[in-house]
Structure 1
Amino acid sequence: MGNQNPSFILESKGKVKFEDRPVPEIKDQDPHDVIVEVKFTGICGSDIHYWQEGHIGHYIVEAPMVLGHESAGVVHSVGSAVTTVKPGDEVAMEPGIPCRRCVRCKEGRYNLCPDMAFAATPPIDGTLARYYTLPEDFCYKLPSHVSLEEGALVEPASVAVHVCRQGDIKPGDSVVVFGAGPVGLLCCSVAKAWGATKVIAVDINDERLEFAKKYAATAVFRSQKESAKDSAKRLLSETNLGGGADVIIDASGAEICIQTSIHALRTGGTYVQAGMGKDEIVWPISAMGTKELNVKGSFRYSEGDYRLAVELISTGRISVKELITGKVKFEEAEQAFHDVKAAKGIKTLIMGPTA
């Protein structure tokens, strides 16, 4: 089929380029594969981090890699065994393929698969290309009333679904979310959809707090330069949280936010780490122990999260349209990365390559 697959590639730390890659083909040994023509791709914080730093933890960019993993597109072709989608269907694309054989996969926690092949995580190429191949069960058909732009937001919505599942959020809960970026905002929205009566967004950016209040938060709290204990005390007082929040989610990765969270939780409350930050921080271990807190990590999404995210969007229980604050042509991808790094807007989408 030739080289007609324009791709946006991270060549090395700080250096990107466009390159025409071979068009993928479905092989006989993979009859369940689907080739998707990518139409929209969101820029994630991890994309920015790889671009700027060249690594995330032990994942190091050692060879040119296609960026992007928040995508939706139109089915281009399907393998002989595919039954759930057909050419022309619009789909949200789940960008990680687990081994399906290990213990974690078999128990449904395939996000923890040690052999996960995740898009735009070295050395696996991402979705910022014209064509991308996925197994059919990682392509989620979008209802006719859900746009492809919304479909690209299913990926961060799935992250939020997983975070909220980790927090075991229930009707009547009070939930605090540190960080009003895309994932934090979506955590607010999912928590509210699940019946949380207080959903408080925390940030240092007044514009994002104003957006959060209009979007899904029932109240907002502006962080200031103060100790974690003082910040927690002020948070509880200003938002009428009494003895503390039931669930706190950190989607910021900032050390002071993490420390404040532990002090602001009620006894027996639940803390979920969703944001990336420094490898090591100072942790309020005494407060954690004496409060008998439930402390959980959250990593990507697992069985059912993508499906539930599509359902929440399609039924209107959460809305993602408001988060899309910019769309750019494929050829403008590098500038879009600069804009996202500069915190312009909430979520920028890159359109697929045109002919």
Structure 2
Amino acid sequence: MTMSAVAVDSVPATMRASVLTSPGEVGIEDRPVPTAQAGEVLVRIGSVGVCGSDVHYYQHGRIADFVVRQPLVLGHEAGGTIVDVGAGVPSERLGQRVALEPGVPCRVCDQCKHGRYNLCPDVRFLATPPIDGAFAEYLAIAADFAHPIPDSISDDAAGLLEPLSVGIWACQKANVGPGSTVLITGAGPIGILTTQVASAFGATDITVTDVSAERLRVARTFGATRVINVTEDEMPGLSVESYIDCSGVPSAVVAGIRSTAPAGHIVLVGMGADEISIPVGVLQGRELKLTGAFRYANTYPTAIAMAEAGLVDLDALVTATFDLGHVVEALEHSQLPTSMKAIVRPGGLADDGRPAAGGMAASGNLATP
């Protein structure tokens, strides 16, 4: 993997940030540019993907126990360029293009020491109250959580390494490998990325289910060998080695468990109902391995390598780009059934170098991955 530095402009004293002030209310604020503290880097943000969690905070002001109690900058799927370094960080990192891993753990708790830093109780995760996110022109982050990327990975793809990491983590926990048979329920962005990862990991039989014909069409273009529209067709009698739920829909979870072969692996990624009833007899009688998935750990090197090798296509998921002044439109676009990934570019440039539009600046990508 080769990486080249880019020229670094002088850093201004202030920056623009898109701020959620209350449910449904987002506006632009001028804020001081953060300072890179010891062990940190300052990143000029190039691109940020819109996540379902951003939409949920925008609509409801909370997710479970995480409540927006003060103005919050959303956005955690980010990439950019290092423009300043704090004490202890080599100056050679100036100008590096990087992908930001948004959850910086404490590093000293029991979970961190066992390598499970995604389960750190004191993790500081971007755009999770009260930690500000990346819908801003600059952001400071721990240097080792700003992962260098090669020139072959675009700014948009750099941000989408974050949801790709979710798919990698899910497939790792589901024991997906060469020749695997896999069921993925839910063909949203995470489901599609998980499908790409399963295919890259060598799975030869990948079934994807959803209620949207358009999203199932997309799933086929990204590696699904079979798609099922559950509003039109009954679930066939599947017997898969690995089942990954990316929908959070209780009925999908139950159907997926019943479709898992003896000694198979089940991974719940989608966030839906807090509690569901599961067929315990099936779980016990088949000795199925059921686990949840919470974010990811140690996946970014794999994600970067997969993207560089062309094993996954992240740019093809981008359905629209927006500038910082049109974050509301980006959040609303993400809710369209034809949307896969809306992108916010704080620098304001669309694919052709012009200012990013308030509407779609890069539409139609889903048809041609």
Do the two structures share a fold, i.e. TM-score over 0.5?
Answer: yes
Aligned residues of 1:3 and 1:20 also touching (Cα < 8 A): no
CA distance in 1 between partners of 2:130 and 2:69 (Å): 8
Deviation string, structure 1 residues 124-168 (Cα, Å, up to 9, x no partner): 111110000111110111111111111111000011111111111
Distance apart, 1:26 and its partner CA: 2.3
Aligned residues of 2:104 and 2:125 also touching (Cα < 8 A): yes
Aligned residues of 2:36 and 2:141 also touching (Cα < 8 A): no
Q: Which residue of structure 2 aligns with residue 110 of structure 1?
A: 117
Q: Secondary structure at the match of 1:50?
A: helix
The one-letter amino acid paired with 2:249 is A
Q: Secondary structure at the match of 2:93?
A: coil
Q: Which residue of structure 1 aligns with residue 44 of structure 2?
A: 37
Measured on the aligned residues, the alpha-carbon RMSD in Å equals 1.7
Distance apart, 1:225 and its partner CA: 7.2
Q: Which residue of structure 2 aligns with residue 235 of structure 1?
A: 236
Distance apart, 1:45 and its partner CA: 0.6
Unaligned runs of 5+ in 2: 1-10, 350-369
The one-letter amino acid paired with 1:345 is S
Q: Which residue of structure 2 aligns with residue 5 of structure 1?
A: 15
Q: Which residue of structure 1 aligns with residue 191 of structure 2?
A: 184
Distance apart, 1:308 and its partner CA: 0.7
Q: Which residue of structure 1 aligns with residue 362 of structure 2?
A: none
The one-letter amino acid paired with 2:236 is L
Give TM-score scaled by structure 2 length: 0.88
Q: Which residue of structure 1 aligns with residue 249 of structure 2?
A: 254
CA distance in 2 between partners of 1:54 and 1:252 (Å): 21
The worse-fitting range, judged by mean Cα deviation, of 53-62 and 248-257 is 53-62
Shift in CA distance, 262/71, structure 1 to aligned 2, threshold 3 Å? same
CA distance in 2 between partners of 1:216 and 1:14 (Å): 36
Q: Secondary structure at the match of 1:175?
A: strand
Is the counterpart of residue 76 in structure 1 residue 83 in structure 2? yes
Matches within 5 A, 1:137-286: 137-224=144-231, 231=234, 234-236=235-237, 241=238, 244-286=239-281
Q: Which residue of structure 2 aligns with residue 58 of structure 1?
A: 65
1:324 alignment partner, one of 294, 318, 326: 318
CA distance in 2 between partners of 1:127 and 1:182 (Å): 19
Unaligned runs of 5+ in 1: none
Aligned residues of 2:102 and 2:125 also touching (Cα < 8 A): yes
1:297 alignment partner, one of 280, 289, 292: 292
The one-letter amino acid paired with 1:314 is E
Deviation string, structure 1 residues 297-327 (Cα, Å, up to 9, x no partner): 001111x201110111011122212111111
Q: Which residue of structure 1 aligns with residue 35 of structure 2?
A: 25
CA distance in 2 between partners of 1:340 and 1:6 (Å): 22
The worse-fitting range, judged by mean Cα deviation, of 39-48 and 163-172 is 163-172
CA distance in 1 between partners of 2:32 and 2:337 (Å): 34
Q: Which residue of structure 2 aligns with residue 48 of structure 1?
A: 55
Distance apart, 1:342 and its partner CA: 2.9
Q: Which residue of structure 2 aligns with residue 134 of structure 1?
A: 141
CA distance in 2 between partners of 1:174 and 1:277 (Å): 25
In the comparison of the two structures, how many residue pairs are matched?
339
Shift in CA distance, 288/84, structure 1 to aligned 2, threshold 3 Å? farther
